[in-house]
Structure 1
Amino acid sequence: MMSEPYDLRKVLAELNEIPGQYHETNREIDPEAELSGVYRYIGAGGTVMRPTQEGPAVTFNNIKGFPNARVSIGTMASRKRVGEILHHDYRTLGKLLQHSVENPVKPIQVTKKDAPVQEVVHLATDSNFDIRTILPAPTNTQEDAGPYITMGVVLGSDPDKTMSDVTIHRMVLEDKDTIGMYIMPGGRHIGHFHKEFEALNKPMPITINIGLDPAIAIGTTFEPPTTPLGYNELWVAGALRKEPVQLVAGITVDEMAIARAEFVIEAEIMPNQTMQEDINTNTGKAMPEFPGYTGDANPAVNVVKVKAITHRKDRPIMQTTIGPSEEHVSMAG
């Protein structure tokens, strides 16, 4: 019998078998500025308030206002834990990653019935659709511009569908069907594709994939020149797991989604359109950055219009990270 393919649930189950690496709590937690504060003292490490410690990954099972969802944080907040997740000596992870880049394993496509992430579908055309009531996206501090998606892997392609790529961006929930996405100048390959769509004055279809096997998130952090334009970092994740990442066709957009994600947002980046990141709060702040300070809100983030949200039926897990933490430093490294 073939073993189940890797996804976040399989990884959390494996971590749960290793003492000190994983913690679940059923105590109610407020996603607004409380969840990140609790985690900061349990397991953040890195640049948060002293004393820092290398604590467990944490899953919060009881999220205020979101009875059917969970939030997980800190999976990759320790090199040793990443070694356990990838079944590799943490001291030579760099070599493992280099080997994976050089020996890519490309994704495969599966049907909707084999894609757990499409078990439940919310369409933006539904009368009560509101991304802010579906996604338990945390707010890190009272000053944040809003609830943030910090561990959403954006999958997009060029207009001719000759190249696809994945990147991670910070994304704030702005209203019921709008996300503000910060694409850094020169914004890696997604930014390159978006510029091509803008030249055609066309919206760019994307999927935002949340709640993933950490091998995917780790692969996604690669940048040029290691992974040049045309190299899709999902190939790295396939190599790390020695099994291809499974993709499924989007329901409302002409783009692929990661089939074993927990949540997928199907959306379009609008051409030649921006908005103020903190339009709802006007605090002038975005969210905590990895050096430890709260970053300034951007006056002009890209406008992303949501077409649908799909997710697993059984209490989907929102994966998140907090800016100043060992997790961010570890991924960046």
Structure 2
Amino acid sequence: MMFNTIKGFPQTRVAIGINGSRKRVGQFLNCAPEKLGQLLKNSVQTPIDPILVEGNAICQEVVHYADQPDFDLRTLLPAPTNTEEDAGPYITMGLCYASDPQTGESDITIHRLCIQSRDELSMWLTPGRHIDAFRMKAEAAGKPLPISISIGVDPAIEVAACFEPPTTPLGFDELSIAGSLRGHAVEMVKCKTINERAIAHAEIVIEGELLPHVRVREDQNTNTGKAMPEFPGYTGEAKAALPVIKVKAVTHRRNPNLADDSGSRRRARQHGRYPDRSEHSGNG
């Protein structure tokens, strides 16, 4: 579903549930729907590592710095608030990319992000998530963890980000699977304000840092006790203490599209049929 006219955001559109059909995902990946499982299995065995491109990328056509007086995530991004109970506007298709502060190995995955203020996001990290392992290492050293959030990328990257252990152990960059699915490497670009990379062709990129020893109640702005609609059909409970991303900048294409997956039960069921997703719970 595409929303072309959004009050307060004349230059941005919102696309919801792009990967909501197994048939559509097969078309995106040039594969018969019934052969997607085999395609994904083969992609793990023939990875193509991401590459870094020099200079500005299309995702950096427009740059907003958080230290500018008029910077505000709530007016920059048309992130949906789906129900009256929601803890706030949510980013549900942000491809979160961070690196191990000790080894430099990187990971990409999708996490629930709630806009908490003009320059802060809460991030829900379930136990065992790879980026959380990186965050804990940085926190133990008293340091923030740089993180980029790429929104609006090609479906191969979104699918690859859903791979998990044991297929993709800690330190395995799922972007190499995306490279295999696409037939060529995913291009990355250096972020403007943090020591990390982002997906060069993304529609929107959020640059920030996961702060050490800082937590926030997910519904601090609404006090509803609720977070957002979950894919099984119920509204999830708000988390009492979540890590905080301090945003440093937002970059985007001119007239960007914001991808969203709020309440996409069909997509979750479809992805649940892929071999890796059906055998293990949670993303890497």
- Give TM-score, length-normalised by structure 1: 0.80
User: In structure 1, what is the equivalent of residue 132 of structure 2?
Assistant: 191
Within 2, Cα distance between the matches of 1:242 and 1:319? 23
User: In structure 2, what is the equivalent of residue 327 of structure 1?
Assistant: 267
Contact in 1 for aligned 2:20/2:266 (Cα 8 Å) = yes
**For 1:117, which of 59, 62, 71 is the aligned residue?**
59
Within 2, Cα distance between the matches of 1:166 and 1:93? 21
Task: Report Cα offsets for 1:5-44 as digits up to 9, x if no partner.
Answer: xxxxxxxxxxxxxxxxxxxxxxxxxxxxxxxxxxxxxxxx
* 2:25 maps to 1:82: yes
Within 2, Cα distance between the matches of 1:112 and 1:170? 30
* 2:125 maps to 1:173: no
**For 1:219, which of 133, 154, 160 is the aligned residue?**
160
* 2:15 maps to 1:72: yes
- Displacement of 1:301 after TM fit? 1.0
Q: RMSD of aligned C-alpha atoms? A: 1.0
**Aligned amino acid, residue 230 of structure 2:** E
Partner SS state of residue 137, structure 1: coil
Partner SS state of residue 104, structure 1: coil
Partner SS state of residue 112, structure 1: coil
**Aligned amino acid, residue 183 of structure 1:** L
Task: Report Cα offsets for 1:251-299 as digits up to 9, x if no partner.
Answer: 0000001000000000000112110000000010000111110000001
User: In structure 2, what is the equivalent of residue 154 of structure 1?
Assistant: 96
| Structure 1 stretches lacking a partner, 5+ long | 1-57
- Displacement of 1:328 after TM fit? 2.5
Task: Report Cα offsets for 1:185-222 as digits up to 9, x if no partner.
Answer: 22x21011111101101000000110010110100000
**Matched length:** 273
Task: Report Cα offsets for 1:286-324 as digits up to 9, x if no partner.
Answer: 0011111000000111111000000001x1000001235
* 2:162 maps to 1:182: no
| Aligned counterparts, 1:305-324, within 5 A | 305-313=246-254, 315-324=255-264
* 2:192 maps to 1:230: no
Task: Report Cα offsets for 1:88-107 as digits up to 9, x if no partner.
Answer: 01101011001001110111
**Aligned amino acid, residue 90 of structure 1:** P
User: In structure 2, what is the equivalent of residue 128 of structure 1?
Assistant: 70
User: In structure 2, what is the equivalent of residue 108 of structure 1?
Assistant: 51
Within 2, Cα distance between the matches of 1:332 and 1:278? 29
**Aligned amino acid, residue 145 of structure 1:** A
Taking structure 1 as reference, are residues 324 and 257 closer, same or farther at Cα in structure 2, changes over 3 Å only?
closer
**For 1:97, which of 40, 46, 60 is the aligned residue?**
40
Within 1, Cα distance between the matches of 2:127 and 2:246? 21
**Aligned amino acid, residue 241 of structure 2:** A
**Aligned amino acid, residue 246 of structure 2:** K
* 2:255 maps to 1:296: no
User: In structure 2, what is the equivalent of residue 269 of structure 1?
Assistant: 210
Partner SS state of residue 87, structure 2: coil
- Displacement of 1:158 after TM fit? 0.8
User: In structure 2, what is the equivalent of residue 240 of structure 1?
Assistant: 181
Contact in 2 for aligned 1:194/1:269 (Cα 8 Å) = yes
Partner SS state of residue 10, structure 2: coil
Contact in 2 for aligned 1:221/1:332 (Cα 8 Å) = no
Within 1, Cα distance between the matches of 2:62 and 2:253? 6
Deviating runs (4+, > 4 A) in structure 1? none
- Displacement of 1:125 after TM fit? 0.6
**For 2:80, which of 132, 138, 141 is the aligned residue?**
138
Instruction: Work out the percentage of aligned pairs sharing the same amino acid.
Output: 53
Task: Report Cα offsets for 1:50-79 as digits up to 9, x if no partner.
Answer: xxxxxxxx2211111111101011211011
**Aligned amino acid, residue 126 of structure 2:** M
Task: Report Cα offsets for 1:115-146 as digits up to 9, x if no partner.
Answer: 10001000001110001100110111111000
User: In structure 2, what is the equivalent of residue 37 of structure 1?
Assistant: none
Within 1, Cα distance between the matches of 2:24 and 2:187? 24
Within 1, Cα distance between the matches of 2:210 and 2:141? 13
- Give TM-score, length-normalised by structure 2: 0.94
Partner SS state of residue 194, structure 1: helix
Within 1, Cα distance between the matches of 2:111 and 2:272? 13
